[in-house]
Amino acid sequence: MKLAFSTLGVPGLPVPDVLALASEHGYHGVELRAHPEEPVHPGLSPAERADVAALFRGSGIEPLCVAGYARVAAPGDDAAVLGELRGLLRLAHDLGAPFVRVFPGGEGPREEADAIAARRLGTAAEDASALGVRILLETHDSHRTGADTMRVLGPVGHRQVGALWDVMHTWLGGEQPAQTYAALAPQLGYVQVKDIASVEDTTPLPLGAGVLPLTECVEVLSRGGWDGWLCWEYEKRWYEQAAPLPGLLAAGRDHLVRLLGEAA
């Protein structure tokens, strides 16, 4: 499995500095938080996109994903959500990233939210296919478990639409790693790892210092023969009191490598 980290852990850090951290600490890729307060977002000009893509190529680090904030199950008009999603797909294509992350964001009756998300993802799948980018629905908010996510992805049934497994949200949803993997395996794009103190305190911690079942997750993935990406999503942007990520990256990589070795 390849290792990456999210720029959510280094808010606002310029791309060259992010790539230097990845290279220094042995990470293969970077998940790019796509928000206007970050260096990479859909508002970049063609020239700016080309510059970012060139930085990645020159570093040997892969742009894993454009992590957007489109909420595909949210109520309202489809056009605005699809427009946002298509902007993320174009950005990922221009940067050479294989994935775009979206959230569910459903409200109201479950069946209605499922149907809205499936309809929008099915429509956007054709754009994704044309651009060579895959849309990943993260296990999050209204659809935090693998079972929740597959209620949407099953009806879509398109190879360019898959799942992003956030291990914190499936755990908070009461789902065991083996259950999540069984649900998501056919559609799994990659896995976000992290650690927290408890259900009540989700302040990010160094990997292995909290309660999330990272060992079990890696074991399940290894037993299943899955060889995709593990991406450390350290939510520094939302928790200013959390320790700075750069000083934790080396130990985090070592912890993941140790888990992978033990699971092999």
Minimal CA–CA distance to 124: which of 164, 172, 72, 167?
Answer: 72
pLDDT of residue 95: 98
List the structure tokens of 75.
């109520």
Q: What is the pLDDT of residue 136?
A: 98
pLDDT mean for each 10 residues of the chain (264 residues):
98 98 98 98 98 98 98 97 98 98 97 98 98 98 98 97 98 98 97 98 98 98 97 97 98 98 94
pLDDT for the residue numbered 42: 98
**Please, are residues 229 and 4 in contact by the beta-carbon 8 Å criterion?**
yes
Say which residues have a Cβ less than 8 Å from residue 126's Cβ, sequence separation at least 6: none
| Amino acid of residue 221 | L
What pLDDT does residue 67 have? 98
pLDDT of residue 200: 97
In the structure encoding, which two tokens stand for residue 139, read together? 């296990």
In this structure, are residues 249 and 7 in contact, taking their beta carbons and an 8 Å threshold? Answer: no
Query: Measured in Å, how far apart are the chain's first and last C-alpha atoms?
Result: 11
Q: What is the predicted pLDDT for the residue at 126?
A: 97
pLDDT of residue 148: 98
Residue 142 pLDDT = 97
Would you tell me the crossing angle of helices 177-184 and 146-156 to the nearest 10 degrees? 0
Evaluate whether 38 touches 80 at the Cβ level (below 8 Å): no
